[in-house]
Structure 1
Amino acid sequence: MSTTATFVLVHGSCHGGWCWQKVTPLLRKQGHEVYTPTLTGLGERSHLLRKDIDLDTHIQDIIQVFEYEDLNEVILVGHSYGGMVIGGAAEKITQRIKRLVYLDAYISQDGKSAFDLIPGLKEIYEQRSMKEQGKEWLVSSYEPQDFGVTNPDDIVWMNARLGPMPWHTHDQPLKMQNTQSKKLAKSYISCTDFGDSQFMPQRIKSQGGWDYHELKKRT
């Protein structure tokens, strides 16, 4: 039996496929197949940024990767906001997915938007709105330090790549009504260096059906 796998890695808010550059070689060195798509309006696709980009737009981005690359038996990983995206994609392409992995991510729920899942997030985004530049539908990017990055070289590298986030990606509720997708194997990886996670992963520990791990920064 082959021990290699196919991974699709979905980035979070303000990032792009570029954020996996240090992870991808490690997986490929072990013989795994790895895809790191960039969601519409972000990263190298920032030229496609527009007002009507929402959660559905990004879900469709991932579905297209699966269909055009003819991917099956995939381990689909979502970081942060990417948890919303992989949850939505799993509704439509359940049969192509082997496992969902939520990497310090939103735990997607039926009828809930990202704003609904994290108390106070909408108010933070309102404060970061770019309405003074006439773009109330955009939220300015966070700083690298907000993501726990401390290495000076990494900060420079990230500052050159982080971009604003379309508002409607976070206010659109996710529809999850496919009973088969609920049966998919699921893992949660909680990054614990920042104390209690805003994603509240502890609530899944008592639910059952989750493979739960905690990750600390290497020293």
Structure 2
Amino acid sequence: MARYVLVHGGGHGGWCYQPVARLLQAAGHEVYAPTMTGLAERSHLLGPHVDLDLHIQDIAAVLHYEDLREVILVGHSYGGMVITGVADRMADRVGRLVYLDAATPVNGQSLHDVAGPVIDAARPFGQVVDGVELVLLPAPGAGAFYGVTDPDTIAWMDARLTAHPWKCFEQPLKLTNEDALWAIPQYHIVCTSTLATRDPGLIGKARAEGRLWDIDTGHDLMITEPRAVADALLQIAAG
């Protein structure tokens, strides 16, 4: 039995992994899909204290309090920042890192450094609420921004997407245990359309080592192609 911890991206919550989690659980595996502070069912905890470091602490706490080891730690989008930080702090508990169409940062980089043009495009549509700058504001049909086209799925997302603090996206990642971190096997499940924007050395190495899957779908591939994502995650566990 494998243990998966599925970390969501900006504006989402653990809810976005429901289709994938069901498939992994049906295959006999243990699945955790926590929501980070200030988002989804934890949006009532939003405040100026919410940043990348806090989100890393959120996920690290799941590993600690659930006593999880040899975890397959999966991060989508902004979640790539988070899982990298978690693995740096808790390398002894992480067996594999999976970047799900995610940011792949190095020490000192923020999400803005990694994906500036994409998130810069969203920033002008944000707003400041109670002193917190928020982006990815939910609005009818917002699922289309994440590459979702099915009307019923978009309606499901409309009821669940929440705004995200900009502070999370501009805070640099601080790594202190890089030898252990980069020794953890890394896997990449990406959208075909984003391949050309990624580090060719990283992608080439992953492809050569059989650690790359590309799926021809939108950015929220865990929602639009849950079976393909689950199949890749099952192969990672088996491999």
Normalised to the residue count of structure 2, the TM-score between the two structures is: 0.83
Q: Distance in 2 between matches of 1:85 and 1:106?
A: 9
Q: Secondary structure at the match of 2:202?
A: helix
Q: Could you tell me whether the CA contact under 8 Å between 1:53 and 1:169 is conserved in 2? A: yes
Deviations along 1:168-196, whole A, 9 cap, x unmatched?
1001100123111110000011111xx23
Cα gap change, 1:122/1:25 in structure 2, threshold over 3 Å: closer, same or farther? closer
**Aligned counterpart, 2:233:** none
Q: Secondary structure at the match of 1:101?
A: strand
Q: Secondary structure at the match of 2:120?
A: helix
How far has the Cα of 1:51 moved from its partner?
A: 1.6
Q: Distance in 1 between matches of 2:172 and 2:191?
A: 25
- Letter of the structure 1 residue corresponding to residue 133 of structure 2: W
**Aligned counterpart, 1:18:** 15
Tell which deviates more after alignment, 7-16 or 139-148. Answer: 139-148
- Letter of the structure 1 residue corresponding to residue 159 of structure 2: A
How far has the Cα of 1:30 moved from its partner?
A: 0.7
How far has the Cα of 1:216 moved from its partner?
A: 2.6
Task: Give aligned pairs, total.
Answer: 213
How far has the Cα of 1:74 moved from its partner?
A: 0.4
Q: Could you tell me whether the CA contact under 8 Å between 1:204 and 1:210 is conserved in 2? A: no
| Displaced runs of 4 or more, over 4 A | 133-136, 207-210
Structure 1: stretches of 5+ with no match in the other structure: none
Higher share in helix: 2
Q: Distance in 2 between matches of 1:198 and 1:170?
A: 22
Q: Could you tell me whether the CA contact under 8 Å between 1:6 and 1:75 is conserved in 2? A: yes
Question: What is the aligned-residue identity percentage?
Answer: 44
RMSD over aligned CA atoms reads 2.1
**Aligned counterpart, 1:128:** 125
Q: Could you tell me whether the CA contact under 8 Å between 1:83 and 1:106 is conserved in 2? A: yes
Cα gap change, 1:72/1:170 in structure 2, threshold over 3 Å: closer, same or farther? same
Select 1:36's aligned residue among 33, 36, 47.
33
Matched, 1:116 2:122: no
Q: Could you tell me whether the CA contact under 8 Å between 1:190 and 1:201 is conserved in 2? A: no
Structure 2: stretches of 5+ with no match in the other structure: 218-224, 226-239
How far has the Cα of 1:138 moved from its partner?
A: 1.2
Q: Distance in 2 between matches of 1:160 and 1:202?
A: 37
How far has the Cα of 1:123 moved from its partner?
A: 2.9
Q: Could you tell me whether the CA contact under 8 Å between 1:185 and 1:210 is conserved in 2? A: no
Normalised to the residue count of structure 1, the TM-score between the two structures is: 0.90
Q: Distance in 1 between matches of 2:189 and 2:200?
A: 11
